[in-house]
C-alpha cells in the first residue's frame, strides 16, 4: 500500500524553489539580504523535492 504522507514533500518543495529563485533574482540585483533569504528557501525546497524523487524509486 502506498504511503500518502510522501506526496506533500513535492507540494511543499515546489513553492519553496519558486520563491527561493525569485528572492535570489532580487538579491542579485543589489539587495544581498534577499539573496541569503533566497538560499534559505531554495535549499530546503530542493531537498524536499529530491527526497520525493528518491522515495519513488
Task: Note the pLDDT tens digit of each residue in 19-52.
Answer: 999 999 999 999 999 999 999 999 999 999 998 8
In a domain, 27, yes or no: yes
Q: How far is CA 57 from CA 3, 39, 47, 54, in A?
A: 14, 27, 16, 6
In a domain, 11, yes or no: no
Distance between CA 40 and CA 50 in Å, rounded? 16
Confidence of residue 9 (pLDDT cuts 50, 70, 90): confident
What range defines the domain where residue 32 resides? 16-56
Give me the residue label for grid cell 539573496: 35
In a domain, 7, yes or no: no
Tally of structural domains, the chain: 1
Q: What is the pLDDT of residue 6?
A: 54
In a domain, 4, yes or no: no
pTM listed for this prediction: 0.80
6 and 52 Cβ atoms separated by less than 8 Å: yes
In a domain, 10, yes or no: no
Q: What is the pLDDT of residue 2?
A: 64
In a domain, 43, yes or no: yes
In a domain, 25, yes or no: yes
Amino acid at each position: 500500500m502506498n504511503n500518502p504522507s510522501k506526496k506533500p514533500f513535492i507540494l511543499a518543495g515546489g513553492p519553496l524553489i519558486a520563491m527561493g529563485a525569485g528572492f535570489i533574482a532580487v538579491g542579485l540585483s543589489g539587495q544581498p539580504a534577499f539573496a541569503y533569504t533566497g538560499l534559505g528557501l531554495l535549499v530546503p525546497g530542493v531537498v524536499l523535492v529530491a527526497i520525493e524523487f528518491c522515495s519513488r524509486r
